Amino acid sequence: MASDLPDGAALPDDVPNAKKQSLGFFAKLFGAWIAMGFCNPKTPGTGEINV
């Protein structure tokens, strides 16, 4: 996201540089979730994490 960049960062003009996600983005995301049948995919268990 362009809003996360530090002040003065130069961005190219050949790609969209939105500060927030658009409504169209969320519509496509919701459409994909509908196509998945509103399910939440299982994530693999990685076990215990020792730091």
pLDDT in tens, the chain (51 residues): 677 778 888 887 787 777 788 899 999 999 999 998 888 777 777 777 777
pTM above 0.85, yes or no: no
E runs forming strands in the chain: none
Name 45's Cβ contacts closer than 8 Å, sequence gap at least 6: none
pLDDT given at position 45: 76
- Single-letter residue type at 10: A
pLDDT given at position 1: 64
* Three-state DSSP class for residue 23: helix
Cα 51 from Cα 33, distance rounded (Å): 35
